[in-house]
Amino acid sequence: MHLLSTRFLWRTVGFAALLSTLLCMYGFGYAVNQIMFPKPAAQNEAAAPQETAKPKETPLASKDKIQIVALGDSLSAGTGDLSGRGYVGQVKEKLEKQFGKPVFILNNFAIPGFTTGDVLKDMEAKKDIGKAIGQADLILLTAGGNDLFEGGQGIFNGSSDEGFNPGAAKERMPAALKRLEQILDTVAKQNPNAIVCYVGLYHPFLDLDDKREGSVLIDEWNRSAFEIVNKHNNMVLVPTYDLFELNLNKYLYTDHFHPNQDGYERIAERIAQIVR
């Protein structure tokens, strides 16, 4: 009886050892096969499902229609574009193609010759400006060029010896930047959700500025304007200096100050890229 129990015990132990050995060999073989011949993740049932990152949509993409409001000076008014569209009208056309939906210019309140002070006074005096801003999806603003250059007043003194002198423009800059900040603060309060594009300044007298002193001045303005814009969500500064720097005469109107149709098209294309 004792002998039979011992034999049974040893047979059980031997069978268990054999089974363990077979399992180890199978596991080793499976592991080697997975290393040498790995299955694609899609075919591997044990693989975790992969999530595909969805591209983030611009706020304008979710709109059924896009309403534009423009503010500012002669650039937003389109002076120099013989087609009458200016950059505002060309932005409308580009966004219609880009998003495949209707785009409307709700209002264009820009007036040639306006300074930042004029824009502020107009916003305070006309309630319909605030109402339109509140309804807008995209707000376009140009302001500051007339503050600095004032049609060349104080910058060109008539002396060929001294030529371009940006000193007068630099003196006007601090007050103008403060007013620009007030404009953008007001817009942000009237509509905190719209995309606001402030169009930065370019140097219209670059070819007359041998020492490129005006370039430093424009850069200082644009940097300061960027700091102001950057305080608000959904606001962006649209750089334009580089668009005119190398081909100034090609993209300026005959008045040597405003963009021509092609110059405005370059500004519009940049805005369309930014809000894409």
Q: What is the pLDDT, as a whole number, of residue 12?
A: 56
Number of Cβ atoms within 10 Å of the Cβ of 223:
11
Which residue blocks in 140-276 are alpha helix, DSSP H?
145-149, 167-190, 213-229, 241-245, 248-251, 261-274
Task: Answer whether residue 4 shows pLDDT above 90.
Answer: no
Residues near 140 by Cβ (< 8 Å), separated by ≥ 6?
68, 69, 70, 71, 72, 76, 87, 88, 91, 197, 199, 271
Closest CA to 264 of 67, 74, 90, 94: 90
pLDDT of residue 226 exceeding 70:
yes
Using an 8 Å Cβ cutoff, are 263 and 252 in contact? yes
CB atoms within 10 A of CB 45: 5
pLDDT for 153: 57
Q: Are 119 and 72 in contact (CB under 8 A)?
A: yes
For 122-139, the pLDDT digits (tens) are: 999 999 999 999 999 999
For 104, the 3-state DSSP assignment is strand
pLDDT above 70: percentage of residues in the chain: 74
For residue 225, count other CB atoms closer than 10 A to its CB. 22
In the predicted model, is pLDDT for residue 6 greater than 70?
no
Domain 59-274, what fold? Rossmann fold (3.40.50)
- Is the pLDDT assigned to residue 275 strictly greater than 80? yes
pLDDT digits (tens, 9 = 90+) for 145-168: 999 987 655 565 544 444 566 788
Segments in the chain forming alpha helices (H) = 2-36, 74-77, 86-99, 116-125, 127-135, 145-149, 167-190, 213-229, 241-245, 248-251, 261-274
**What does the pLDDT read at residue 114?**
97
The answer to whether 181 touches 153, Cβ cutoff 8 Å, is no
Amino acid at 69: V
Tens digit of pLDDT for each residue in 95-120?
Answer: 999 999 999 999 999 999 999 999 99
How far apart are alpha carbons 264 and 258 in whole angstroms? 9
- Residue 152 has what pLDDT? 58
DSSP, collapsed to helix, strand or coil, labels residue 139 as: strand
- pLDDT tens, position by position, 177-201: 999 999 999 999 999 999 999 999 9
